[in-house]
Amino acid sequence: MKKVLIPTKLDRAAAGLLTASGRYEVVQEPAADLADMARRHPDAYAMIVRSEKVTADIIDALPALKAIVRAGSGFNTIDTRHARKKGVDVMNTPGANANGVAELVIAMILADARHIVAADASARAGQWEKNLFMGRELAEKTVGIVGLGNVGRLVARRLSGFDARLLGFDPMISAERAREMNVELTDLPALFADSDYVTLHVPENDETRGMVDAALLERMKEGATLINCARAGVVREDDLRRVRATKKLRFLNDVYARDAEGAKTVRDIADIMLPHLGASTIEANSVAARRAAQQLMDFDEKGITAYIVNRDIPEGLDRSYCELANTLARLCRCLVGRSAPLNLIETTFYGTLQPFADWLLVPVIAGIWEDFDRAMDCRAARQYLREMGIDYVNRTVDPEKGYEASITLDLCAAESADTLRRVSVRGTVVESTLMVSRINQFNKLYFEPVGPTVFFMYDDRPGVIGSIGTRLAQGGVNIADIRNPLDPKTNRSLAIMKVSRRVPDELTAEIGREIRAISAFSIVL
């Protein structure tokens, strides 16, 4: 019998499933002191937790531990690196709380539109203020959904019964997949300008942190509503405070910089604020519990590793090629357009990399989508692509090309309703150094994709490199290295410049306009 510790108030379904299998002894102690529990059960094989902190000391106190399952998606409370060192696999249950969050969004919209909270307090006080609480209907309104992942898709589905027009922004989802959800894909400025309600469902990362700023908020209709059940850092709070005052915006919030007791900085601007209740449903707790138990059993019985978040690379694969795959994907995504909806991903893994095609797909997907965890496996990556409506092809290797241990990656994106754009890059590793050898028709580049870099593609003519260098210098940016190949067939040049610091997107765009660039972007590789 394998002993499983559950030191939390988790739905009993997990213990029930594990016990019924006849292979596990379950010790569940809600709100237990984890250190004390570990001392009493040093023979524990696995642990299922929620938000408990699983530190290196806890892991060390359990020498027989082989698996930790987080009944939920976030696992930042678990020392995953130390767990890896000790041979402990850490898993999570992504998506288990998605429906609870989606339904909370609908509840908040309706509660605000019909003044449910204030009207309840008024009626309890014996007042009859019907005129004061004149509300709005959701029917025939426009709702903008920023992020069409697990939660965003469910929000769209839940809104389908309200006869609302749905707009969506998610550069990673195909137009066909959006149409299946009855969502019109658009860009962020248009979404904010056209929506009566804007609801946020994106992770907080370098791309999204502070994305909802004054420029977007000022585009909103007067009296429109912003809902944040994603992450606090996605919204620039001071910008919202300023614009809200002039445009009479409504703000409904369920997320904070710190989930704990104490005054919250948004209390003066939030029309409804809740203590992060998105996942706080009986059903979500039950689903997370069942998934945690099932994943542990599948891991033991079937060797399914899809939800392991701290896995290592397989024996025989050089880690640098994982980094190469991830870097090529990030670069290719910028080249095809960060906001262009993808239709197709094609890969070719040459030479000794062929047997590791499945493993290398994961860093490729993580390079294109920051919210995809690199610790997932190929099965999860393929499922992710299916949910996005994006085709994937791993091409058969042509041995006559003679490429040894190199990677070619192609992305195909919708440039317009009738036009597709394809970008292709190839790279390899030379003496432990990542090298990009080709971008589209520009071959034999051999530049090292490390550090802040700017890219400009333009119709070749004299003086362009000088103009770029002058504008960068005016912005306090020094050029450390440059590649500037010419394609004689198209008369196009590509300028790749490694620079002293990251070039702001605004400056990159300005330079691009000045030199009439076909493509211009800045990236830290």
- Which pLDDT score, from 0 to 100, does residue 243 have? 97
- Which pLDDT score, from 0 to 100, does residue 295 have? 93
- Which pLDDT score, from 0 to 100, does residue 205 have? 77
Q: Are residues 115 and 56 in the same domain?
A: no
Render each residue's pLDDT in the chain as its tens digit; 525 residues: 999 999 998 999 999 999 999 999 999 999 889 999 999 999 999 999 987 899 999 999 999 999 999 998 778 789 988 998 898 999 988 888 889 999 999 999 999 999 999 999 999 999 999 999 999 999 999 999 999 988 999 999 999 999 999 999 988 787 788 888 999 999 999 999 999 999 999 888 777 899 999 999 999 999 999 999 999 999 999 999 999 999 999 999 999 988 778 999 999 999 999 998 988 899 998 999 999 999 999 888 887 777 888 876 666 788 788 889 999 999 999 888 877 888 899 999 998 898 889 889 988 998 898 777 666 678 888 888 988 889 999 998 877 666 778 999 999 987 665 566 889 999 999 878 899 999 998 988 888 998 999 999 999 999 999 999 999 999 999 999 999 999 888 999 999 999 999 999 899 999 999 999 988 989 888
Rg of the chain over Cα atoms, rounded to whole angstroms, equals: 26
Q: Kindly list the distances between the CA atom of residue 476 and the CA atoms of 465, 467, 469, 471, 496, in Å, as whole numbers in the listed order.
A: 17, 14, 11, 9, 18
The CATH number of whichever domain residue 403 belongs to comes to 3.30.70.260
| Residue 135 identity | G
Does residue 460 lie within any of the structural domains?
yes
Q: Are residues 67 and 194 in the same domain?
A: no
CB 447 within 8 Å of CB 481: yes
Distant-in-sequence contacts of 25-29, Cβ < 8 A, 24+ apart: 25/1, 27/3
Report d(CA 30, CA 49) in Å as an integer: 10
CB 498 within 8 Å of CB 451: yes
Q: Are residues 115 and 81 in the same domain?
A: no
3-state SS class at 411: strand
Listed residue (425, 499, 419, 486) closest to 455, CA to CA: 499
| Residue 9 identity | K
Q: Name the strands in the sheet holding 433-439, side by side, starting at the edge strand that comes first in the sequence.
A: 391-394, 342-349, 406-414, 420-430, 433-439
CB 173 within 8 Å of CB 185: yes
Q: Who contacts 321 (Cβ-Cβ below 8 Å, separation ≥6)?
A: 353, 356, 360, 405, 407, 429
- Which pLDDT score, from 0 to 100, does residue 6 have? 96
Here the tokens at position 385 are 């692509």
Does residue 505 lie within any of the structural domains?
yes
- Which pLDDT score, from 0 to 100, does residue 397 have? 82
Report d(CA 149, CA 406) in Å as an integer: 32
Report d(CA 143, CA 416) in Å as an integer: 23
Quote the crossing angle between the two packed helices 319-336 and 357-368, to the nearest 10°: 40
Q: Who contacts 140 (Cβ-Cβ below 8 Å, separation ≥6)?
A: 163, 164, 165
Does residue 312 lie within any of the structural domains?
no
User: In the beta sheet, which residues pair with residue 393?
Assistant: 346
Q: Are residues 135 and 235 in the same domain?
A: yes
Does residue 310 lie within any of the structural domains?
no
Q: Are residues 77 and 132 in the same domain?
A: no
Q: Who contacts 52 (Cβ-Cβ below 8 Å, separation ≥6)?
A: 7, 8, 34, 77
Phi/psi of residue 113, each to 5°?
-60, -30
Listed residue (95, 115, 104) closest to 380, CA to CA: 95
Q: Are residues 91 and 114 in the same domain?
A: no
- Give the count of alpha carbons within 13 A of 427, CB side only: 26
Report d(CA 8, CA 467) in Å as an integer: 62
Here the tokens at position 192 are 């904010």
Does residue 258 lie within any of the structural domains?
yes
Here the tokens at position 45 are 């094989």
Q: Are residues 110 and 216 in the same domain?
A: yes
- Which pLDDT score, from 0 to 100, does residue 198 have? 98
CB 13 within 8 Å of CB 290: yes
User: Cβ-count burial of 367 within 10 angstroms (0-12 exposed, 13-18 middle, 19+ buried)?
Assistant: buried
Does residue 278 lie within any of the structural domains?
no
Q: Are residues 133 and 242 in the same domain?
A: yes
Q: Are residues 369 and 345 in the same domain?
A: yes
Q: Which helix (H) or strand (E) holds 142?
A: strand 142-146
For residue 4, the Cα-to-chain-centroid distance in whole angstroms is: 31
Here the tokens at position 200 are 């946020």
Report d(CA 503, CA 525) in Å as an integer: 13
Sign of the torsion formed by the C-alpha atoms of 336, 338, 339 and 345? positive
443-476 burial string, b = 16+ CB within 10 Å, else e?
Answer: eebebebeebbbbbbbeeeeebbeebbebbeebe
The CATH number of whichever domain residue 156 belongs to comes to 3.40.50.720
Give the chain's domain count. Answer: 3
Q: Are residues 338 and 246 in the same domain?
A: no
Q: Are residues 45 and 157 in the same domain?
A: no
Domain residues for 65? Answer: 2-95+283-302
Q: Are residues 380 and 518 in the same domain?
A: yes
- Which pLDDT score, from 0 to 100, does residue 402 have? 66
Report d(CA 261, CA 277) in Å as an integer: 14
What's the full length of the chain, in residues?
525
- Which pLDDT score, from 0 to 100, does residue 381 have? 86
Does residue 135 lie within any of the structural domains?
yes
Report d(CA 368, CA 332) in Å as an integer: 8
Does residue 307 lie within any of the structural domains?
no
